[in-house]
Amino acid sequence: MVEAAGPESVAGAPAAPPDGPDASTVTQARRDPDRLAAGLRRWLVGQLGEQAAPEVVDIDRSSANGMSSETVLFDATWRGEDGPVAERLVARLEPDLDDVPVFPSYELGHQAALLRAVAELTSVPVPTVRWWEPDRSWVGAPFFVMDRVDGEVPPDVLPYTFGDNWLFAAPPEDRRALQDATVAVLAELHGIEDAAARFAFLDPSGPSAGGGTALRRHVARTRAWYEWSVRASGMRSALVEQGFARLDETWPDEGGEAVLSWGDARIGNVIYRASRPVAVLDWEMAGVGPRELDVAWLLMAHRVFQDLAAQWDLPGLPSFLRVDDVAGQYERLTGHSPRALDWYGTYAALQWGIVFLRTGHRQVAHGQVAAPDAGDDLLHHRDTLARAVDGRPWG
C-alpha cells in the first residue's frame, strides 16, 4: 500500500512485541539490484540519447513503508546541454506475481497520469513524474520514474502509535497542524471539478455497471478484489464477508457529486516537513466516488494503528485523528458535512481486511508464517473489523 518517494525517520524503533508486526514480513522483493541498475541505465540511454552517457550510480530498495508496489530509489547522472546533471529519482515498479501482490493489477500508467493531473489542477504536492515506461523488458516490469522528495513519513512498521518515532514525540499542536494540513489535502482533491468525467479511466466499468452509482461500482470492484484474493490464496474471511453483508443491509444515501478519491488517504502515504505535506503518495487505490471514502479511510487507518497499540497495552495517540475533529475540519474547508461515517468506516475496515489477507498470504507463501486454520487469523485488525461489522467502527 505504501512506498514513499523519500526517506523516513524510523531509526530507533522498538522491537516488535511477541507475535506483533515485523518489518521483515511486510515486503518481499526479489529483483537483483545490479540487474535493475543495468536495465535502468540502458533505458535512460533510450530516453536521453547515447551522447548523454547516463549512469545509475546508486540504487537501493526503499526503506519506507511498503506493502504493495515495488519502489526503487536510485541516483543517476548524465551529460546535459548545460553540463553534468545529477538527479535523485524513484522508480515505481509493478510487483512480481511471485511476490504475492496486494492487488490483481496495478495500472501504473494510470497512476502516472493521475499524478500529473493532480499537479496540474491543484496545489496538492505530488512528486514530479519524469517518465512512464509500459515495456517490461527493461527491468522486468512496467514502471514510472519520479523525482525523489525528502522528508519524514509516519512509520507503519512499527506503527507510529507504538512510540519512539518523530510523530509520536511531536508536541500535540504539531500533530494537530499535521492532521489539519492532511485534511486540507483531501478537501482540495475533492474540489477538482467534473472529476467523474476527467478521471473516467479510474472507473472503467462506467455508469451502467455495479448498480449505476459510483459508490455501487466502487464496492463491486472491492468484492471482485476479495474474490480474486480467495481464488489466489484459498483463504476466505468470515469477517470480511459479514462486512459486505452489513454494507448491503445499511446502504447510505449517496447524495452529492462523485469526486476524485485518493483511495489510500492516510498519513503513512505522505511525506511531511515541519508538519506540512510535501509529497502525497501511493495512488493505487484511487477512484471516483463520495467524499466520505477518503475521510473515513483517513480515520480508519489511524483507528487500526491505535487499536494495535491498545492490544499491546501501549497508550498510542488517542487524541489524534478523532472523528469529530477530522469531520469538523473537513466541513470548515469544504462546506460539506461528512455523512454516514459509520457505514464508510465499516467499508474502510473491510478493505483493510482484504489488504491483510493478501499480506498474510504473502507471509505464508514465503514461509514466514504457518498457514492459519482460517483467513480471519491473518487479520491484524480482527477486533477492529469485528466491531465495525457490529456497527461500531470507531469504538
Residues that are catalytic? 264
Number of residues that make up the chain? 395
Q: Which helix (H) or strand (E) holds 89?
A: strand 83-93
CA–CA gap between residue 282 and residue 292 (Å, rounded): 19
CA–CA gap between residue 392 and residue 395 (Å, rounded): 6
Rg (CA), the chain: 21
CA–CA gap between residue 224 and residue 205 (Å, rounded): 13
Say which residue the cell 540502458 belongs to.
42
CB-facing half-sphere around the CA of 395: CA atoms within 13 A: 12
Q: Residue 290 burial (CB < 10 Å; 0-12/13-18/19+)?
A: buried
CA–CA gap between residue 353 and residue 384 (Å, rounded): 10
Q: Are 344 and 326 a contacting pair, CB within 8 Å?
A: no
Give 364's contacts (C-beta < 8 A, 6+ positions apart): 233, 370, 371, 372
Closest CA to 346 of 243, 241, 268, 266: 243
